[in-house]
Amino acid sequence: MLWLQVLVNGLALGGLYACIAAGFSLVWGVLNIINILHGSLIVLGGYLAFFAHLQLGISPFLFAPIAGMLLFLPGFAIQRVIISPVMARPVLMTLVLTFGLTLFLDNLMLVAFTADYRKINLQPPLGVLEFGDVVLPLDRLYATGIGLVSVGALWLVLRSTQLGRAIVAVRMDRDAASLMGINVRLTHAIAFGLGTAMAGVAGALLAAIFPISSLSSSGYLGKAFVICVLGGLGSVPGVVLGGFALGVIESYGALAVGPENALTMSFLLLIALLALRPTGLLGRKGFT
Amino acid sequence: MTQPLLQVNDLAVRYGDVQVVWKADLVVEEGAIVAMIGSNGAGKTTLLRAISGMLPPYGGEIIFAGEIVPASAPPEFVRRGLIHVPEGRRLFARLSVWDNLMLGAYLRDDKAAIRQDVERVFALFPRLRERRWQDATTLSGGEQQMCAIGRGLMAAPRLLIIDELSLGLAPRVVDELVDALRKVNAAGTSLLVVEQDVATALEFADHAYIVDRGRTVASGTAAVIAADPAVRTAYLGL
Ligand SMILES: Nc1ncnc2c1ncn2[C@@H]1O[C@H](COP(=O)(O)OP(=O)(O)OP(=O)(O)O)[C@@H](O)[C@H]1O
Ligand SMILES: [Mg+2]
C-alpha cells in the first residue's frame, strides 16, 4: 500500500500547490510579467501567519484570507508605482525589476526575521485521518482544501464579475478595453494585487504545515513556475491540474530518488515538457 | 437654435511627428445619421479615434453635448455617451458574446436598465441571443459586427460611432445591419458612420462629410453630396 500512501501524500498538497501558482499564473497571463517577487511574497504571507499565530493566537487557516487581504494593497501599489512605468518595455525589463524587488524584500526579511526556520505549532495538533494503512494528516487536508477554495474564488471573480471580464478584456485588447471605458492601468494594478493576495494566502497555508525561512522564496517561485508550465499558463483549471500533478510527481520522486532530489526532478520534467509542449497541458493565451 | 450633439472644431491629430489629420470640422446634430466617406488612408479612423478620446488631439476641440471633453480620457467619453465601435470590430477573444455585451456596459451600474438593454440588443439581432455563450471571435463576420454594435449599444450611447460598418460583409448582412441601425436611430441614438460603400452610405445617412488627406473637404445633406459631380466621379465611379 506504499504507492497509495505516496499518492495520497501528493494529492494532499495539490490544492496548496495550485494556490501557490495561481497568482503567479494570473500576473503572467494577464500582465505578461514573470513576477520573480512571487516567492518572496509567499514567504511574507508565511511570516504574517506565523506572527499572527504567535502573538495573537490566530490559526493560520483562519488567517489565510486575512493574509490575502493584507498583501493586496502592496501588490496594487507595486504595480501602480514601480512596474507600470516599464510595462510597455520588453518582458525582460519587468523580469529584472521584479528580481530586484525580490532581492530587496528577501534581505529585508532576513534582517527582520533572520534566516532561522520557524514553524507554527498548532495547539492542539490536528492529528490524522486513517484509512486502513493510509494516513492523511488533517493540517494538509485543511491547507489543500482552503487553497482550492481560494483558487475557486479567484476563478469565480474572473469568470462572472465585471472586474474579471475587464481583466480578461485588458489582456486581450487594451485599446478595445479602453473603448469600453475600462481604466487599463487601474485594472493592471488590481490584477497584480490579486496575484500578490493569492501569494499571501498560499504563504499562510504553507506556514501551517511547513517551516518557513526568509531564504526559501526561490523554492516557492520554482514550484509556481513548474506548476504553470505543467498545467499550462493562463487558466485556473490549469494551475489546479498543475498543482496536483506537481504534488504527485514530487511525492513519487521523493520515494524514487530521495526527498532532496524531488525538486530537481520536477525541473527536469519541466525542461522535458517545455521541449515537447511549450504551451503546457492546458495552455492558451490570456487568463480564465 | 439648439446646439449640436457633437461639434468638432479645427481638429488636428499626429502620430508622433507624423501629422495625419490637419483640419477637421464636423457637426452631428441630435438624432442625425451622419456618414463619413473618404479613400483609404484619408485619416477617417484617426479622426474617429481622436473624437472618442483614444488619441490626444494636437489641436482643435471636441465639444460633446455642449461641453468640451478633456483630451485623451476614453472613460470620460464613454460616460458621456460617446461610444466608438472600432474598425475590425475588436471583440474580446475567449469571452462569450454575453461577456462582450456586458463589457459594453462596464461603466454602468443600473442593473435593471442593463438587463433591458440586453433584451433590446437580442431583439435587434436575434442571432446573438442564440449564440450568447459562444466565444465572440468564433462568430461569422456579420454576427461579429452585430456583436460589436450590440456591445456599443450596451453603453447606452447618445452618439454611436461606427468605423467601417460593412467591410467584408455580404450585401444581405449589410441590409440587416442598416435596418437595425435605423431602429436604433429612431429610438433616439445619433449615428456617425464611416462607410467604404459610398452608395450605401449616402442612402443610409441624412448628412455626409468627405475626408481627404486629413481634411474634411466637403459636407452637406446626403442628397446634395450624392449629386455632386466630383463625388460621383471620385467615389461612386459614375
Ligand atoms: N499608429 C499609427 N502610427 C503612424 N501612422 C499611422 C498610424 N495609424 C495610421 N497611420 C497613418 O495615418 C494615415 C491615416 O490612417 P487612417 O487609418 O486614419 O485612415 P483611414 O481613412 O481610416 O483609412 P481606411 O479607409 O483604410 O481605414 C495613414 O497614412 C496611416 O498610415
Ligand atoms: Mg479606417
* Interface residue ranges in chain A relative to chain B, Cβ cutoff 8 Å: 162, 165-166, 168-169, 172-173, 175-183, 284-286, 288
Q: Do B106 and A181 touch (CB under 8 A)?
A: yes
* Ligand 1 center–CA B123 separation, angstroms: 35
Which ligand sits closest to the CA of B36?
A: 1
Q: How far is the CA of B46 from the centre of ligand 1 (A)?
A: 6
pLDDT at residue A266 in the model: 76
Which residues in A lie closer than 8 A to residue B151 (C-beta atoms)?
A: 180
What pLDDT score was predicted for residue A56? 94
Q: What percent of chain B has pLDDT over 70?
A: 99
Domain assignment present for B224? yes
pLDDT value, residue B238 = 65
Shortest CB distance from A180 goes to which of B93, B94, B103?
Answer: B103
Ligand 1 atom nearest residue B48's Cα: 18
Q: How far apart are CA B129 and CA B125, in angstroms?
A: 7
Q: What is the mean pLDDT of chain B?
A: 93
Measured between beta carbons, the chain A residues lying within 8 angstroms of B155 are 180-181
Interface test with B, best of A158, A180, A236 (most B CBs within 10 A): A180
CA of B105: which chain A residue's CA is closest? A180
Q: Please state the rounded mean pLDDT for residues A115-128.
A: 85
Question: Which among A165, A168, A181 has the least Cβ separation from residue B75?
Answer: A181
**Number of residues written out for chain A:** 288
Q: How far is the CA of B40 from the centre of ligand 1 (A)?
A: 8
Put simply, the answer to whether A172 touches B104 (Cβ < 8 Å) is: no
Looking at the CA of B42, which ligand is closest? 1
Residue A91 predicted with pLDDT over 90? no
Q: What pLDDT score does A276 carry? A: 78
Query: Given a cut of 80, is residue B30 above it in pLDDT?
Result: yes
Out of A1-5, A215-219, B70-74, give the one with best mean pLDDT: A215-219
Ligand 1, CB within 6 Å, residue ranges? B 15, 18, 20, 38, 40-46, 87
pLDDT digits (tens, 9 = 90+) for B87-107: 999 999 989 999 999 999 999
The mean pLDDT value for A134-151 works out to 94
Higher pLDDT, A231 or A138: A138
Contact residues for B107 (Cβ-Cβ < 8 A; gap 6+): A180, A181, B75, B78, B79, B155
pLDDT (mean) for B49-61: 91
B65 interface with A at CB cutoff 8 Å = no
Put simply, whether the predicted model's pTM sits higher than 0.95 gets the answer no
Q: Residue A288: its pLDDT value, please?
A: 55
d(CA A64, CA A62): 6
Pick the residue from chain B with its C-alpha nearest to A285: B94
Q: Among all residues of chain A, which has the CA nearest to that of B78?
A: A181
**Structural domain boundaries enclosing B9:** 1-81+160-167+190-238
CA–CA gap between residue B140 and residue B169 (Å, rounded): 10
Q: CATH number for the domain including B55? A: 3.40.50.300
- Gap between the terminal Cα atoms of chain A: 38
**Domain extents for chain A?**
2-115+129-276
* ipTM of predicted complex: 0.91
State the number of CA atoms in the 13 A half-sphere of A125 facing the CB.
8
> By CA distance, what is B83's nearest residue in A?
A179
Beta strands in chain A (DSSP E): 128-131, 134-137
CATH class held by domain A2-115+129-276: mainly alpha
**Other CB atoms within 10 Å distance of the CB of residue B199:** 13
**Tens of pLDDT, residues A192-217:** 999 999 999 999 999 999 999 998 99
Distance, CA of A160 to CA of A141 (rounded, Å) = 28
In this complex, the residue of B74, B102, B104 whose CB is nearest that of residue A178 is B74
Query: Which atom of ligand 1 is closest in space to residue B38's alpha carbon?
Result: 21
Among B138, B94, B104, B96, residue whose Cα is nearest residue A287:
B94
Mutate to test the interface with A, among B106, B108, B159 (most CBs of A within 10 A): B106
- CB-CB under 8 Å, B84 with A180: no
Q: Is the pLDDT of residue A280 over 80?
A: no
Cell of A52: 499572527
Atom of ligand 1 nearest to the CA of B49: 18
The lowest-confidence range among A197-201, A258-262, B134-138, B204-208 is A258-262
Q: Give residue B19's pLDDT.
A: 92
The confidence score (pLDDT) of residue A287 equals: 55
pLDDT at residue B47 tops 70: yes
What is the pLDDT confidence band of residue A123, given thresholds at 50, 70 and 90? Answer: confident
CB B104 within 8 A of CB A162: no
Q: Name the domain count of chain B.
A: 1
The answer to whether B217 contacts chain A (CB < 8 Å) is no
For residue B70, report the distance from its CA to the centre of ligand 2, in Å: 24
In a domain, B86, yes or no: no
Q: What is the arithmetic mean of pLDDT over B179-194?
A: 96
Task: Please tell me the predicted confidence (pLDDT) of residue A195.
Answer: 97
Contacts B75 to A, Cβ<8 Å: 178, 181-183
Q: Is the pLDDT confidence value at A59 over 80? A: yes
Q: Which residues of B touch A180 (CB under 8 A)?
A: 78, 103-104, 106-107, 151, 155
Angstrom distance (rounded) from CA B117 to CA B157: 11
For residue range B218-227, list pLDDT tens digits in order. Answer: 888 988 888 8
Q: If pLDDT is split at 50, 70 and 90, which confidence band does B229 have? A: confident
Residue B196, pLDDT score = 87
- Between the CA of A212 and the centroid of ligand 2 the distance, in Å, is 57
Let me know if residue B154 belongs to a domain.
no
pLDDT above 80 for A151: yes
pLDDT digits (tens, 9 = 90+) for A20-48: 999 999 999 889 899 999 999 999 999 99
CB neighbour burial string for B46-69, b if at least 16 within 10 angstroms, e if fewer: bbbbbbbbbbebbebebbbbeeeb
Question: B63 touching A, CB under 8 A?
Answer: no
pLDDT score, position A284: 55
Expressed in angstroms and rounded, the spacing between residue A42 Cα and the centre of ligand 2 is: 48
Does B146 have pLDDT greater than 70? yes
H helix count then E strand count, chain B: 10, 10
Mean pLDDT estimate for chain A: 90
